Amino acid sequence: MKQSVNNTVFQLKKVIRDINNYNKEWRYIDAFERYVLILNNCSKRLELPIFEFESFHYSNTGKTINDVGYDSLITHISILEEMLPNVFAIKEQKPQNEKNQQDSKKVFIVHGRDKTALLETEGILNRVGLKPIVLNRMANSGLTLIEKFEKYSEVSYAIVLLTPDDIGALYENAPIESLNHKFRARQNVLFELGFFYGKLGRSKVCCILKSSVEKPTDIDGIAYIPYNQSVEEAEYALLKELKGANLEFHLYNV
């Protein structure tokens, strides 16, 4: 981006110099219209004002530019030269501002094996104009799993789906009949939950818990959103959490 701007500014300065050095006694229309074409092409790429000759800028013969037309062009060039120092600042800030705006819409979804819960959560986010980030759908780009996770964790919010994917019990209870075993979330889900608590803070993380799942003891007492069959049961409560975290989305009556 910066190299492209540099090239355009170079071309603009070159044509400005050519116009200033042109023989002022023989200002042929064909030559000046070529100059103005280059001038305007550069100006458009840099989002600067363009110049157009008016009918009264031409001489009686129709072959040259008169003094009024020439002076108008020189005045326009002077304005462009005054605006040029701001071009780089604007071009460098714009991508960053756009990136910040895009990042503010990103919501990471931590999930286990329950694909239905994942799809329902994505649907809720998509409907209100937020951008769900699901790790296994993002490009690998030659990264290790943890590097990929760190790369795509640059988000404004995280939703953690605690679904009954595994079963477990205390070691001393393991030999006892399976009634002592409880449904638990996947280990990767708990790891990523802790990661986002540390990275974003608890106010930017929402746990959605299926009713049959055992809560991890470390987060016992932390607010979470329960549901029985479908994540969509928790849609209203989830959107309230997102709004409370100052995420901007289309629904304003939550």
Tell me the pLDDT tens digit for each residue of 44-67: 888 888 988 888 888 888 888 888
Residue whose tokens read 């994505």: 122
Is the model's pLDDT at 95 over the cut of 60? no
Q: What are the sequence ranges of the domains in the chain?
A: 2-96, 104-244
Provide Rg for the chain, Cα atoms: 31
User: What pLDDT sits at residue 158?
Assistant: 93
β-pairing, 205-210 vs 106-110, is unpaired
Tens of pLDDT, residues 125-181: 988 889 999 988 888 888 888 888 888 888 989 999 988 876 665 555 555 555 566
Is the model's pLDDT at 87 over the cut of 90? no
pTM reported for the whole predicted model: 0.56
- Calculate mean pLDDT across residues 180-204: 81
- Calculate mean pLDDT across residues 60-80: 88
- Calculate mean pLDDT across residues 20-38: 84
In angstroms, rounded to a whole number, what is the distance separating the alpha carbons of residues 151 and 142? 12
Is the model's pLDDT at 2 over the cut of 90? no
Task: Spell 2-18 as b/e; 16+ CB within 10 A means b.
Answer: eeebeebbeebeebbee
In angstroms, rounded to a whole number, what is the distance separating the alpha carbons of residues 231 and 211? 11
Q: What is the mean pLDDT of the chain?
A: 81
In angstroms, rounded to a whole number, what is the distance separating the alpha carbons of residues 28 and 66? 10
Is the model's pLDDT at 118 over the cut of 70? yes
Residue whose tokens read 């931590």: 110
User: What pLDDT sits at residue 159?
Assistant: 93
Architecture of domain 104-244: 3-Layer(aba) Sandwich (3.40)
Is the model's pLDDT at 93 over the cut of 60? no
**Which token pair is 204?**
């930017």
The residue that leads in pLDDT, 177 or 226, is 226
The model's confidence at residue 254, banded by pLDDT at 50, 70 and 90, is: very low
Tens of pLDDT, residues 99-116: 555 577 899 999 988 889
